[in-house]
Every structure is written in structure tokens, then in C-alpha cells.
Structure 1
């Protein structure tokens, strides 16, 4: 009996020894949390950079989608994670309107998350079916003034940056345009292509394939400068609306308290990965991105400005989430 007990103990110890490397490997895995479902631009950016991060950090980097509640579920997971370098957040522009649209958030964006990098942005674009009469922003404003409450537009939801951009346009011109919020960019594009709505607003990444294919025509773009792929399309500022800019953007954050050396290491790995010619080209072609690759301080300054800007629009116009 003593022999059997000893043998079982030895086998148990061997099992523990064999399992230990697997446990260590698992605990050494870095997770990039994307707080949205797979298939969107944030998910695409995370999956684009993860192989390069794996190579440069010497650890397996996986992308984990934790969608729900406008991105707050995945963000909360990171906000409550240990600041040990194994959990990071890659999020989208909705991050900047989250506090005002969802005031009962279980976390604080500034207190519970540390900035790592502003990857870049892509302008929001107004697009319409190619046989519609709108060719620039002046046409849109003129038509809406002539037909109040008839020139409709779609967006990806109430309180999204696209929706808020159109609210700003209306407040500055005195026009009224019916808003149709959709639960996804694809649905808005489908109805715009079918002509069920007069136009839609979405990120350049969302509408670019349809503009290239001729089923949609770009009317205006809201970036600080014209995209190379939309070189013939005026920015809103060029059309006379100074300060009316709106970009989709991607940023990386860490749980608060992440050691500075870890933040610096991740920032450097992201910068090197996104500076590769192939990766940079994919970001520019598939996401229509203007790469920034900022340091942490610049992301903090940028985010503070975005939160202040869009929170004011939400409050002044009593916007509610879907």
C-alpha cells in the first residue's frame, strides 16, 4: 500500500511538473481586449497588429472580443484587470462619448485607464447614392432648407460620432434632417445604396469600398485634410465650417497603475509594428487611416479634447443612446 501511495504521489508530482510549463505559457499570454464584436474596424486593427506584437514582445498576443453596452463591458474588464502587462484595451471613438451617454459606468476613463498610444484616425464621410442630386455640403444644406424634415440621413446609432457630427451641422446651419439610427454600419450602407435614405454618415473605412465601386458618392469629409482616396471631395472646413471635424480613431489603453516601463515597451512595439511598410499600407487602404502613433501623453490630451467636445454636443442636444 505504501508503494502504491508513493507511486501515485510521484505520478501526481510528474503531472504537476508537466502542467507547469503550460500554466506558465498561459499566464504569459498577452490579451488585447476589443470591446466590440468581431468584424468591425477595431477588431481588424487589433488582429492586424497582434502578430507583430507577438514577435517584438516575445509573448503570445491574442485578441479577445468582449462586446456589449456600447463598448463599456470590455472596457470595464480592462479597467479592473491587474496592471501586470498582460491585459490591454484597443478601442474606438465611442470611447470619448461613453461617459456622457452612460453616466452610471462602473469605471472612470481617466482614473481607471492609462493611455498608451493614439494609433490614428479616419474621417467621417457623408455619402449618398450616386444618382442623388447632392454633390457637396452646400447641396445638402440647400436641400434641407428647401425641404425641412425631409432630407434624411442614416448613422450607426444615436450618440455615435457620426450622428453627433450631423447634429453639429444642423445647429450651425439651422436645418432639420430626420435621423435614422442603425445598429450597424452595413445596414446603413445597404439602405443608402438602395435609396431608402437620402444619405448616410460613416467612417471612410466603411464607405470607401462602395464609393470605389460606384454605388455611393462622397459628398463631404470631416477630417483635418483631404484623404488621398477622396482627393476631389471637400472637407467641411474647406466648405466654410471651421472647426467642424470628426474622425473615427483607434487608441490603446492599459489598466491604471501599469508600470511606466511596460507602457513604454508596448508603445514601442506598436510603433514598430505599425511602421512596417506592409502594415502601414493595410491600415491606409483598408481603414483609410491617417496614422499618428502618438506617445501616451498625446493620447491623454487628445482624449480629453474629444470628451469635452462631444459631451457638450450630447448635453446641449439632449442626445440619448439607442
Structure 2
């Protein structure tokens, strides 16, 4: 008789974990896509109410764990990163709150938006270049060449460029997750890439189901804002039902990645594990400052929920204005992981 080869328990568990990752993620995507396709406007309101602030808190906590106590050779990199984040955030807020008054013509508005987009792209290019210099063997000049090309492109199609950022931003969470899996759970990569491939299939499914549907109702100011945010005023001829559903679907996955998947892969991102934060755990660190920052960020989540409950539309506008700060902050940490 032939001897039956037994699979070691640790290998069996690992295979089971990968299958669970794919099956659970795909199942969640399927449920989310079906629900969002049926009620895109309502889904947008609900997901932002529940998860927008929480995912910002989780991002802040993740960034704290990644920030070194001593910058060393990365001093220039982090200085440029922080300066750019602050400068671009202030510029964006100025355009957001003051760009629509009667003193601004359409030309001056488009020029200002194009200038902001160009500075943003060049800042990202400089970060790639600085990161390449740190790695020594890498060449950062291609990144700068791409940045200059993209900066020029922003002047020709400013509206489309800004809209592209709206749709690309949710995907950045999956780039973070991919880099983190490569570092801590490399054996999950194939399963993770399989899951990423299914996202494209779900978007194609949304297109097949919703592309011919009539546009969503914009009878209220809030509905109009949601539709415009998804590109309803830019992508003429495309069903706003599909646009809003696709954007909400991607944002939902973005929230799930930051709130669930990234802490699952990198335990240092679990909120209560303060020992994983160098700025807190090191004897030369700043534990009180870190604890205060985490407490304030948690309080802001509660304040955001309260604001949504009292005046959802106004709170949403304010949130999306200041949310640019977390969008910008993602790039330095993501580039640092490359």
C-alpha cells in the first residue's frame, strides 16, 4: 500500500487563510456592488457617515507607526514631504472656500486649479527622486520626467485631471496594502493579486448593469453635490447612476482596506498597540504628544458623526475640503514603502 502524504498543519492553515482572504474579500465586494448599484446616493451618504472619519483615524494611526523617531538620511525627504503637504493643503483650502466668489473668472479659476495640480504632481515627483537617491541604485530621473509631463497635461485638461484624482485616490489604499503584504506576508501576494483582478470585473459588471440607466435625480443640493463629485458635470453622456455607484464602490473598498485589511496584515496599525509606535515607545520619544494626537483624532471622529447628524450636507462639504490633507499625506509614506 502507498503511504498517504499528510499536509503539515501550518501549511494547511496558511492555504486556508489565503482562500479565506480571497473568498471573504470577493464576497464583500459582491455584496457591496449589489447594494450600491441599487441605491447609490443612499449608499454614498451612509458610507461616508459611518466610515469616513474612522478610516482617517486608522490612517493617522498607521502613519504614526511608520514615522521614525530619528529621520537620519531621510531628513530632507520628510522635510519636503511635510512642507509640501502643508503648503498644498492650504492652497487647496483657499481654492475650495474662496475660489467661487465673484472676483474669480472662469479663466482665473482654471488657471489656479491647473497650477495646484502641477505643484502637486511635481511634489510627488520630487519625493520619488529623493527616495531613489536614498536607495542609491535606483534612478529617480524617470519619475521626474513623468511628473513634468503630467504637470503639463494638467494645464490642458484641468477638470479631467482633478476628476482622475477622485477615482485614483481610493485605489491608493490597495497600493499600501500590496506593499505591506510584500513586507510582512509575502505568501499572500498571489491571493491578493487575484482579489485585485476581481475588482476590475466588478466595475465592468457595474457598467454592464448601469451604463444604460437614466441619470440619478439631483433634486436636492446634497444629491447634486454627490453627483458632481463623481464627475456628473464633466463626463457628459455617461450615466450618473454608473458614475456615483462606481465611485461609492471604490470608496467603500478604500474604507475597508484601511479599517480592516491593513491592520490585519500589519499588526502595528492596530489602534491600541502603542508599543509599535516609535515616537511613543522609545525612551527618547514623545509619548504624551502621541497620546494627545490619537485622542484628538478619535474625538474628531465623534465630532464628525455629530456634524453629519445635525447637518449632513454642510459637514460633508467641510470634510471633503479638509480631507485633502490625508490624501496628500498618503503619498510620502507610500513612496517610502517602495
TM-score, L = length of structure 2: 0.22
Structure possessing the higher radius of gyration over alpha carbons: 1
- Select the structure that is richer in strand: 1
TM-score, L = length of structure 1: 0.23
Where relative contact order (Cα < 8 A, 6+ residues apart) is larger, the structure is 2
